[in-house]
A and B are shown apart, each in its own frame.
Chain A
């Protein structure tokens, strides 16, 4: 089967210093993958490379398609959803406007937009109560939920969540984990790639664990 995501000999250097070294791995469609590593190990650089935000050598493929020639702004429309580590919501808009914006940019039909918004609300019911709030006024934890909801609008094939549990209070972390389980139970085909520094947080959720250390994939375990 063609992997949903594959890294083939990826190297990334930032200001001359190697950050990713010959990284290769593949994730099958429907995988729930955890990319585990300490701060500075290369987790964020790995996911930013998928989004096209780094100068990388090697090949990244999505469903067999080489992402190299595809400019970063065209990658989300391939079914790529990305929730960055620091949420990065647009404070000029409400929570719901933030979630809907990717669909508006991708020119989804109103019916399809509504369907995807409903999907985001069914995964994250608490967002419905926040819908009309300015995005700049939500708490850090709520912001992580909004970022996940926004990523779900276009993330129909691969959903990338960069350190979603970082800085979350235990109660919110639990709610976030529940949302991920709801998503997995509703959508068996979507591939999830979640980065995390604490291996315990994802051990019951992930079916594939990749460990990255100093820019190299040190181990891969399937559960």
Chain B
């Protein structure tokens, strides 16, 4: 592998890792607090992408720069509306009951949303690359790359990681989430509304999935099935890191993103295999993931 290909692989890996981190961290946050493996997370990613593309195409004729706020608006709208609906009406009645019910109900939500997506946006590919085209290309060791993918996406991922750390460690809302994560009943006994915490956490996690989709939308054609690919990959990242481990999710996303990118250039037929192979190897040796441990604090 020559220097050019290696540089390309690193840039591809960083850019991809940023998107995967955003989706995985939402999944991990939801699991850490609610103990729910949200299978519908992939649909939230896809809905975020489709709504962002729709809004971008609508506002671009007014001003191309409006496509950036459109990405944010789409993420929050999907997080609040779809995420809020799933938590309030599908998951809340099931808390305290068999965990498998939560898995089944989020799987059902995933299937319903997948069909809804085809109903709303059809099956033809949608492409809305305005936000990508607005930023200039940059040259890294002689390799030209879009600054949207190599600067903006990693920057958003980094800010998300730092912002989430600050939010959880330094704010009252974060302290309340940590308390509920550790002991729901003891939290209630000191006046915390655990139901509200679950709702807010789910909406935040869902918004991260939608943000991942929204930021990915300018870089790829949106096609049915994109949510399924992402939920499987983000689950692999979150599980490899250890469910509920936020900083670990960032490092694992980077590790899997880079490995996948290099494999694409070296042995492309193994592209799909590698993340899951890593997950299986890690889980066989460390069942709680690379950064997880029994009885450690989640999130």
Residues of A within 8 A of B (CB): 51-53, 71-74, 76-77, 82, 84, 88-93, 97, 101-102, 104-106, 150, 153-154
Contact = CB atoms under 8 A, between A and B. Distances in A.
Contacts of A53: 185, 188
B186 A101 contact: no
Contacts of A105: 172, 176, 190-192
A79 B182 CA distance: 24
B297 A73 contact: no
A104 B189 contact: no
Given A88-B185, A90-B183, A91-B297, A73 B194 contact: yes
Contacts of A102: 190-191
B140 interface: no
Interface string B177-205: 01101110110111111100000000000
Given A53-B185, A88-B185, A90-B178, A101 B190 contact: yes
B175 A73 contact: no
Contacts of A82: 189
Grouping DSSP codes into helix (H, G, I), strand (E, B) and loop, the B interface class, with mixed when no group exceeds half, is: helix
A153 B189 CA distance: 12
A84 B187 CA distance: 11
Given A91-B297, A104-B172, A105-B176, A77 B191 contact: yes
Given A91-B297, A93-B175, 10 more contacts: A53-B188, A72-B188, A76-B189, A84-B185, A84-B189, A88-B183, A90-B183, A90-B186, A91-B182, A102-B190
Given A73-B188, A104-B175, A105-B176, A92 B297 contact: yes
A84 B189 CA distance: 9
Contact of A106 (B181, B183, B186, B191): B191
Contacts of A88: 183, 185-186, 189
Contacts of A97: 175
26 contacts: A51-B189, A53-B185, A71-B193, A74-B191, A76-B190, A84-B189, A88-B185, A88-B189, A90-B179, A90-B186, A91-B297, A92-B178, A92-B179, A92-B182, A92-B297, A93-B179, A97-B175, A101-B175, A101-B190, A102-B191, A104-B172, A105-B190, A105-B192, A106-B191, A154-B190, A154-B191
Contacts of B172: 104-105
A116 B297 CA distance: 28
B192 to A, nearest CB: 6
Nearest to B194: A73
Nearest to B179: A90
A72 B125 CA distance: 50
Contacts of B176: 105
Nearest to B172: A104
Contacts of B192: 73, 105
A113 B232 CA distance: 47
Interface in B160-178: 172, 175-176, 178
Contacts of B297: 91-92
Contacts of B185: 53, 84, 88
Contacts of B186: 84, 88-90
A84 B188 CA distance: 12
A44 to B, nearest CB: 12
B111 to A, nearest CB: 34
Q: Which 6 A-B pairs have the closest CB atoms?
A: A88-B186, A102-B190, A76-B191, A73-B193, A105-B191, A92-B178
B244 to A, nearest CB: 12
Q: Which of B172, B188, B189, B192 lies at the interface centre, i.e. has the most chain A CB atoms within 10 A of its CB?
A: B189
Nearest to B178: A92
A97 B190 CA distance: 13
Contacts of A51: 188-189
A93 B190 CA distance: 15
